[in-house]
Structure formats: C-alpha cells, structure tokens
Amino acid sequence: MPQSAVRKYLHEVLGVDPVIRQWAGVRALPYFLQDAFELYELKIHNHSILLAINRQEKTLRLATVRGQIDKLKSLADCPVVYVTDALASYERKRLIEQKVPFIVPGNQLYLPDLGIDLREYFRQKKPAPERALSPATQAMLIKALLNKSTQTIWHPAATSAEFGYTPMTLSRAVKELTAAGIATLQRKGKERWLHMNRPPPETWRVAKPLLRSPVKRSVWTHRNPILLQPELQFPLAGRSALARYSLLAEPAQPIYAVDLGRWKTLTQRGLPTLSEPLLDAFQLQVWTYVPIPMPDNKAVDPLSLILSVQNDFDERVQGALEELQEHLPW
C-alpha cells in the first residue's frame, strides 16, 4: 500500500496536507519488524507518529499486530499506528477494544490517544458551512434517504405533508436543497419533484456538513401519569437507540426522543423534571424535528442517530457507530 493513500485519506478526513517521509530508524529494528512493515514518519500539527504499513498480502493476525505495534512503540519511543488496506468488522472492533491505533485509508481512522486531540483541533479549525439546513429541511432529506423508492427522485410536498409542515416550510426546504446542490428541481405539470444529484451514500456525505444534531436539550424525568407509558409513546434515542442497531450494551437508564411540540405539551401539563438521574429516571431528548421512528426496533432513524451521537468520543460508542454505518439503507 503506497503511503500516498494514507496522505490522501488524512487530507480528506482532516483537511490538511500531512508530511510523510521514510523513518530513519528502520535499520536499527529487528528483521521481523522490517519484514512485516513499511515504516514512515508522519508529522501533523506538531505531532510525530510512526506509520506501520502492513507489507503482507493478507491482514496480520490480531494478536501479532498488537505485539508488534507494542514492540515498535517501545523501540521508536513515539506513537505507532497500524496501517492496512482492509479490516473485517470484527477485526476493527477487536483492535478498538485493545486500543491499537489503526488507519484503513478511505474507511476509518482510529487514534485513541492522539486522535482525540486531533479531532478537537480540526473540529475547531474547519470552517463551518455558510448555512446549515433548517431542521425541517434536514428531516425531509433524511426521510427521503431512508426510503429506497425516494433515494433518487421524490415528491417533497408528500414528505412535507407527512410532517405536517406548512407550504412556506416546504418552499424553504426546496430552496435550501437546490441551493446546496443536493437536489435538482424538476416539474411534472403542477407538481414539483426533487432529483438527487448523487447516489445515496454520496448525497449523505455531501449533505452531512450541512446537518446538525437534532437534540436541542436533554432532561431527566421519571414515569408518571402525564407520560402514560413513555416507552410506548416515544422512540428510543441516543445510546439506547444505538444499542438496537449494534452490539453496544443498553444504558441502565433509557433515553427517548420527543419533538419540541410534544415537549411543550408535556411541560404545560406539569411534567416534572429532575436535577439528577435518580434510580427510576430516564432521559428525554428534545428534538428540533419530529423523530422518525423505525418500526422494526422502535428507535429513531439511523441517520439522525448518527448526527446526535457523533461527538460522543467514548470508544464503545465510536465502535458501535462504525457498525451502524456499515448497515445504512443503501
């Protein structure tokens, strides 16, 4: 695997041009490490990292990877990242569990120690888009992407009606989606249709920087007559929903999503909130748009879920997100 693939991937992910050069300490290493890896020094934002690029045609055994990376780390006295062109889902999970840094160019970057600093740095430095999509537009787009029959061309008026949006909100959504280059307006008689300009995965990738977490606030409450069995009324959200889509363990206290309109009704009825999560409490996430429940698992839709938890840097959550993104509906 050429180191240029690593440079290109890091440029795409982090938005910088990293400096990568052959590592000067190769000849001092034991022969089994020289045979196993191509070794490069990566410098990025004043950090030095040793890239251990797998020379083998097949992926190394995970136990071997862990031992060799640890050995390289002790000899090089700097962070070492394992680089390979492919990893099975279970292999990625195992490496994450063992906190072995790795890069799969074009797929995933996992840096349990240094990576958190880099994410914080580049999240601050990356210029924000001029204008994010409004919550209503975001909800309509996600609804269209979730249904295979509407991933190419869809009738925004029908989608808008499902949410109960006004004609003004519908017009704004059409303008936002066409202005962002996400869709092209087509007219069939008096009806307006939106044609997606890219395949669904590309549409999601292009639109994602314009999308925001739907969670406006989170509150703790407990079961009471006002709610009337909340687990039947509200879809699961946050880590509770992620547990339905992955092998992540469910949190001890469940999390549900509720839109602003229903939240206002609950507060008018006197719904009590808690200052701390008591034993029988659960969390309500107040969303900026009506959550789109998935009927098969009573959880919020996977795309909104990704947006709501993507900044949770718990390793277990990040591993579950990776699992979820491998099974998106396209």
Choose among 27, 183, 6, 24: nearest CA to 81.
6
SS3 210: helix
Contact in structure between 65 and 100 (CB atoms under 8 Å): yes
- In 3D space, the residue among 212, 207, 232 whose CA is nearest the CA of residue 293 turns out to be 232
Give the fold, CATH level 3, of 3-125. Trna Endonuclease; Chain: A, domain 1 (3.40.1350)
Q: What is the pLDDT along the chain (330 residues), one digit of tens a residue?
A: 567 788 888 777 767 677 888 898 888 898 889 888 899 998 876 778 899 998 876 666 777 888 889 899 889 888 899 998 888 777 888 888 888 888 888 878 887 765 543 444 444 444 444 579 999 999 999 999 999 999 999 999 999 999 999 999 999 999 999 999 999 999 888 889 999 999 999 999 999 999 999 999 999 988 766 665 454 478 999 999 999 999 999 998 999 999 999 899 888 888 888 877 777 788 999 999 999 878 777 899 999 999 999 888 788 898 899 899 888 988
Phi and psi angles of residue 107, each rounded to the nearest 5 degrees, phi first: -130, -60
User: Is there a contact between 62 and 90 (Cβ–Cβ < 8 Å)?
Assistant: no
> What are the boundaries of each domain within the chain?
3-125, 135-210, 215-325
Report, at the CATH architecture level, how domain 135-210 is classified: Orthogonal Bundle (1.10)
Which tokens hold the place of 89?
């889902």
Going through the chain in order, the beta strands assigned E by DSSP cover 19-22, 37-44, 47-54, 80-83, 102-104, 108-110, 153-154, 183-188, 191-196, 215-222, 255-259, 281-287, 293-294, 299-300
Q: Identify the bridge partners of residue 258 per DSSP, sorted by sequence position.
A: 286
* Identical topology for domains 3-125 and 135-210: no
